[in-house]
Every structure is written in structure tokens, then in C-alpha cells.
Chains A and B, each alone.
Chain A
């Protein structure tokens, strides 16, 4: 069995080595590229969203490389996503591929995930599978933490591109860990790597909050590396959406980190009183929170045809007017022009800068 899982940000770094160690023949797809998107777009329904297309492209690439089993989260997902695995299976079958599709029917439930690990690996003991699953979760949290450190260091770095190197080094170091002890050691090393980056601690860069649909936020290819563009302009990114937070809301592996979804619900009141799918409640709630926390503005990103985030975008427009707080909504799909995106981001950053200078706000 050669197992493949479509990419979603750094998630593949978290599980690949660990599952390999436990006898799973992992075959990660190539990182999403123009080729992935072309394959995905050609074989997808036109109004499926960008995550669907990139996932499908990834699956086709892996199957072409010799994978025979696909693992895909499914079930009663947060939006249309729950149904994607089933549709993708149909599309791939009609393209003539032969493979097994393992859908995790209930990615929200612990027993479901532990069961999946027992199905695919040589671990038969329930308790052992449970510890392996938690290791993956904690590794994901470490990766997210490293990324947020990168977001902090990049605008403050003194030698150009030093923090980029530190970040890719950190991801590599964490990626190698396969046991709790190794993970602990690698984390110590990561802290050292970042401590060695020369940074101007007194510098106060502009802070921009990034919110939106989780796949587009965490997968750099899907958002045309827009975070890198922002960081290169010397802006600090405060991200409101993390994969580890999403996982933590479900599996509670970080006991001191509060349930972000519940908090967001509190902040979102009275603009949005119930979850309307996707990350909409987080987007609305955290916009309100960011506006109070002295973050200069919010960029809200979503894939084209994303219903939940479209709801959020409309509400955020209202918050923006009510609180006199800058919000920029960006939509991504395969037809977005990079020049247009660059112009918008630059103009938004200029807007924040001038606003800060002339009005002395926040």
C-alpha cells in the first residue's frame, strides 16, 4: 500500500515521518504547483472552490507517481468540504484510476482518527495509536509556532532573508522528529535557530491580521504567497487562523489554549450569533478582537465561491464601517492576476501607513 494525502500547508511535514516510522508507506504528493492547479482545474466542476481543485490535482499527481491509496478527510465537514472526498473519488474513478480511498468519516472525533491510524499503520494497540496521533498534533502545533515566530522576526530582521533561512531550517528540524523526545529536542534547537537571527527589537512594524478560509490561509500556493509579499514589505503578520488551533478545538491537546471557536463566538456577538460554516465565525469574531488589540488592519482571504466566508466578508464590511477599521477582502481562484493582487496589497499597506501617520490611530 502506497498512501498519499493531499497537501494542506505544513500538515504533511507533521505526519509523514511519524507514519513512515510505523510502517506506513507514505508517498506525499509534490508541493502544489502550477501543474497541480492545471490538473485540478481541468478535471473539476467549474464552481468547485480552489481547495477542491488543488486537492484533486495533488491526488492525480500522486496516483501518476504510483500511489494506490488516498487518505482524505470527509464526513460532516465545516462546509462543502465534507463532501469533497466522495466527489473526488468519483472523478478519479471516471478518469480511469484504480485506487483505494480512505475517507475519515468523522475527522472531528478522536476515536475516528485513532481508528484511521490503526487501519493504515502496523499499530494495532489502541493506546499506542492514540499516543502517535497526539504526537502528530503536537508536532503540528510546533510547526505553527515556528511559523508565527517567522512572522514576528521577518519584518524586524537586520540581515535580509536571514529569517527565511531560519524558518525553513526550523521546519526541516521539526519535520525529522518521530518521538516525543526528539520533538522536544528539535524544539529547543528551533528556539536557538531563531535566537540567532539578528533582529531590531525596538522596531515597530505595521501589523496586519490575516483571517479567512483555513486552506487558503495556510497553503502558500493557494494564496499566491501573499503572506510573503506582505512580509517583504516589512509588515508583521498576525494570523488568526492556525491548523493547530482548529485541531485543538477538537482534540484539546493543548490544555492551556482556550477553544478559539468558542472565544470567536463571544467576540462576534452581536454581528454573528451562530456559526455559519467554514471559519466565518472566527473571521468575524477575530476582526472585532484585532480592532481592539491595536492591529492596524485585517486582510480577509477566501477561495472564490466560498459561501461561509462570503457571509463573513459582508459582515466584516459592516464592522469596518462601524469601527472605522480597515478590512480588505481578497478572493482567490485560478484566474486571479498576480499584478492586481500586488497592487491591492501595496495600496492597503499604504493606506494603513498613512492612516497611522496622519491620524495617529492605535
Chain B
């Protein structure tokens, strides 16, 4: 019987699952679009996993912006934020790493590491300029698929300068440059440069980026961004083998580190349940917290979101 630790990373745009064995080797993984339906996607991913390998899950870790949803749904042993999860996975893959750049669907992060310990991090706050969603949108506007963008970018020799402060301005600048008659390769390459400048000025301000630098997250698939970073930083950039599922691998590693005696994983049967979510505002005090419920048919299986634990008390909380 195959045994392993499962990591689930429910991101804003994609959902990632990774199954690792006791030696941290990835046995199975999946990367699929969330499409705004995290529960449905998670269920289908679990269904595929049980069909393909039907493994025994020894521990489950969740991460990503939907980590709490996933943990209530599947019964996680450990719930961690994506910064820690990414750092753990990268340190395991490249032990001497000192800088991690991660660009995902809607957020970008920079993690600074010294001697295998995170010492500083930053995350985009108000603007999603330069993240995966924006790239995808621009690709479709230019009539390309997001995978093709990279190839176009590196084939350019004279990148056009695109204003990258803000996605809306970047888009209008791109339209303008197109209408002026710049070649599409140059525009795409200029866009990569702009995003890379934007990332560095937003997140890396006042931080020292030392070698080795790892670049991961969905956007790392884009060759153009990688070469822009290399040019800008004048450093070699490492893209790990599993760059797009590093968060899920990190979550699985954290579960392995914890190695619970008995996992809280609810089993693959949850993949076949009729799960629905609903939410309401509790108006018993001035906080007016938004309460979220997950139901299996009529039964409420989880409830959270309150700050006084009045609603969530009966549903056991998973420690952070």
C-alpha cells in the first residue's frame, strides 16, 4: 500500500496538490485552475488521486489563500500560510538558498533567507500588477496563450519600454505601443521588463537580494520574466523542477515534519459528498463578523469567521 503526506495549496487562480513520500520525493501532483470554485476543484482533484493511486494519507497540510476552507473540508493536520510553505519547500530543494521570489496568480512574494531561516519577507499589498492573472489577461488580448508569451519575449532583441507602475496603465501603454506599430515580440518583452521592475520596486525596496535566487510560482513558467529578472539583477536565477506546486510540497513537508500519530484527514469519501457553502453576518455585537458555513446536504460540517468563537466553538479548530 502506498503511503504519503498530502499537501493542498488552494490559490486564488489555481489549486495544487502534491503527494510526497517519507523522503520528500514527489509521487503525484496536480495543478489545475480554481475557476472560482475551490470546493468543486478540490473534490475532483482528490477523486483523481484516489483513482490513480489510492494512497494511505499519513498527514495533510493545507496552504494558500483558501487554506482554511481546504482544512475544514478535508481535515488538515496543519494549516500554514503560503510564505512559510514556500520557504520550507525551497530550503529543502536548494538548501543554500538565500532569496526566494514567488509570483502566483494574484500575489507576489519575496522571502529573504539566511542560514536556512526566513529572516524577512514582503508581499504585494494593494496592487496585483505583474502577477499571473494580469499576464494571462494580456496574453489573451494579444491573441496568445500564456505559455506562448515566454517564447515571444525571449525572441525579441529590442524590448519596448512599457509603463509598469499599474496594470491599467500598463495595458493602455501596450495598446498605444501596438498602435504605434511596435512588434508584438518587443511589446511582450517590454511587458516582462516592466513587471520585473514593478516587482523589484514594490517588494525588494531596501532589501538585499543575495545568491542563490530561486524563482517559483506559476509565473516562473514564463521564460521572458526569468530572463528579465536575470538581466535586472545580474544574477543567475534557479527555477526548481516543481516550481508551480512548491506551496503544496511545502505544506506536505510541514505535515511530514509534524507526522501526526493519527491524521485528521477525512478520507477520500469527501470527494463524493454534496458540499455547499453559505455565509451570513452575525449582528450580535458591533464587530459584525461574516460567518461561513460548509454543509454536507443538511449537516453543517464546519463553520468559521467569528472572532468570539460563538459559532465555531462546536467545530474543532485546527491549530496553526
Contacts and interface: CB of A to CB of B under 8 A. Distances in A.
B167 interface: no
Contacts of B125: 331, 340
B146 to A, nearest CB: 25
Nearest to B65: A339
A100 to B, nearest CB: 27
A2 interface: no
A351 B118 CA distance: 6
B201 interface: no
A31 interface: yes
B282 interface: no
B140 interface: no
Interface stretch (B51-59, B75-83, B224-232, B292-300): B75-83
B181 interface: no
B82 A33 contact: no
For the residues of B in contact with A, the DSSP-based class is loop
B71 to A, nearest CB: 13
A344 B123 CA distance: 8
A335 B127 CA distance: 11
Interface string B79-94: 0111110000000000
Contacts of B320: 233, 346
A317 interface: yes
A350 B288 contact: no
A34 interface: yes
Contacts of B286: 30-33, 221
B126 interface: yes
Interface residues of B, number: 25
A286 B126 CA distance: 29
Contacts of A258: none
Contacts of B311: none
A350 B65 contact: no
B308 to A, nearest CB: 8
A350 B117 contact: no
Contact of A326 (B82, B119, B126, B309): B119
A358 interface: yes
B107 to A, nearest CB: 8
Contacts of B206: 317
B258 to A, nearest CB: 14
Interface residues of A, number: 31
A354 B117 CA distance: 7
B307 interface: yes
Contact of B287 (A33, A343, A359): A33
Interface in A233-279: 233
Given A30-B286, A347-B83, A355 B119 contact: yes
Contacts of B126: 335
Interface in B1-58: none
A79 interface: no
A165 to B, nearest CB: 10
Contact of B123 (A228, A317, A343): A343
Contact of B80 (A331, A340, A350): A350
Interface string A310-346: 0000000100100010100001000100011011101
Contacts of B308: 164
Interface of B: 65, 80-84, 107, 115-121, 123, 125-126, 206, 286-288, 307-309, 320
By Cβ-Cβ distance, the 7 closest A-B pairs, closest first, are A347-B83, A346-B81, A31-B286, A350-B84, A33-B286, A343-B81, A351-B118
Given A324-B119, A335-B126, A346-B80, 7 more contacts: A161-B309, A326-B119, A343-B82, A346-B84, A350-B80, A351-B117, A359-B117
